[in-house]
Amino acid sequence: MRVRQIIAAAMTGAAAVAIAAAPAQADRGDSKAACNKGEICFQWIYDNFSTSSYQRHFWYNDSNHGDDYWSNIPDLYPAFVIKDDAEGLWNRDTTCAVTIYDLANYVTPYTTFPRDFRAAISPRNNSHKRCA
């Protein structure tokens, strides 16, 4: 009986380590090309979100846009971060306004955009927070 308890405890511990060691997934919204309901979407060259190239979508806050890369990049084009490069924003969050910050870690608020706001923005965007 004691052997079974030891084996069960070891398996439980191994499962906990496996769960804890699972890598965190980057917030990519729903991972679809279009900016969909509930997402906070940035666009490199603003075109009223009529194309899906060079967009980045989020569900949640992000304290550092310096480690977020544009999605849907055409072949042969380089990948680069969205930090200080987004010229369009579409806040499709269904609950909250979104505040864009000039610096990482939510430092120096740039402006707050209401729900369903879609327009060209100044490319000062190092972090963002919903419901701020």
| Overall average pLDDT of the 30-45 stretch | 88
Q: Is 73 exposed, middle or buried (0-12, 13-18, 19+ CB in 10 A)?
A: middle
Residue 11 has pLDDT above 60, yes or no: no
Q: In this predicted model, what pLDDT tens digit does every residue of 48-73 receive, in sequence order?
A: 999 888 899 999 999 999 999 888 77
Distance, CA of 102 to CA of 121 (rounded, Å): 12
Residue 1, pLDDT score: 52
Tens-place pLDDT, residues 78-115: 778 899 999 999 999 999 999 999 999 999 988 999 99
For the chain, what is the radius of gyration of the CA atoms?
19
Strands, E, within the chain: which ranges?
Answer: 40-43, 55-58, 88-91, 98-103, 107-113, 118-120, 127-130
Domain 26-130: give its CATH code.
Answer: 2.60.20.10
Domain ranges of the chain: 26-130
Give this prediction's pTM: 0.75
Residue 40 has pLDDT above 70, yes or no: yes
Distances (CA, A) of 85 to 4, 28, 122, 123, 126: 58, 17, 9, 5, 9
For residues 80 and 6, the model is more confident at 80
d(CA 86, CA 68): 11
Cβ atoms < 10 Å from Cβ of 14: 10
- Which tokens belong to 56? 């980045």
